[in-house]
Amino acid sequence: MPEREEALVKKLTEKFNFLEPRIQRERRIWADVPREKFLEVLRFLRDELNFYSLCSVTGLDCGEHFQLVYNLAETGGIVFGLKEIAPKTDPVFDTATDLYKGGVLYELEASNLLGLTIRGIPGDIRYPLPDSWPQGQYPLRKDWTNLPGKENNNNVKSSDPAGTPTPGPQGT
């Protein structure tokens, strides 16, 4: 195992004994973090372990739950994937923009494409969806069936060749 990665994992688990970080390979570490501890662990990674760069935030529909993965990097080239999970019955996360200002676009994307609530981000921005996108339609959810040319139970159809949703029967 790479020494630098092992040293980072050791410092992290000394501070947070509930964590079980995994070194996937050289310069790549992963950890799952409970929602209630997520911001505390994120702050420690930034302030104490020098993970100053937020590379991306990836939102996933994993079936029974949603997951946000914050990919952080430190100046030595190590990337840390910090995973946070919320059940589908309570898809609520807290924003990390107090720590990483640039994360707002990533979090808006996850919120609007998956239908997550991310407390602390602007709720009136439809990024990256067009303003005309129907409310309540989340195209990255596994159960979303509003594919171009199809109708679903929400009475929304998408017949535009570019796949842009258009109102269904009530709006025609």
In tens, the pLDDT along 98-148 reads: 999 999 999 999 999 999 999 999 888 889 999 888 888 999 999 888 755
Task: Give yes or no: residues 111 and 62 share one domain.
Answer: yes
pLDDT at 169 over 70: no
CA angle 36, 112, 117 (to 5 degrees): 25
Q: What CATH code is carried by the domain that includes residue 45?
A: 3.30.460.80
Instruction: Compute the distance between CA of residue 168 and CA of residue 83 in angstroms, rounded to an integer.
Output: 37
DSSP letter (8 states) at residue 103: H
Instruction: Compute the distance between CA of residue 107 and CA of residue 130 in angstroms, rounded to an integer.
Output: 16
Q: Name the residue range of residue 99's domain.
A: 3-128
Instruction: Compute the distance between CA of residue 129 and CA of residue 109 in angstroms, rounded to an integer.
Output: 8
Percent of the chain with pLDDT over 70: 84
Residue 137 · residue 89 · CB < 8 Å = no
pLDDT at 72 over 60: yes
Number of domains in the chain: 2
Task: Give yes or no: residues 15 and 60 share one domain.
Answer: yes
For position 2, what pLDDT does the model report? Answer: 84
For position 148, what pLDDT does the model report? Answer: 56
CA 116 to chain centre: 9
Boundary (domain end) residue, out of 128, 145, 163:
128
Task: Give yes or no: residues 150 and 114 share one domain.
Answer: no
Higher per-residue confidence, 44 vs 168: 44
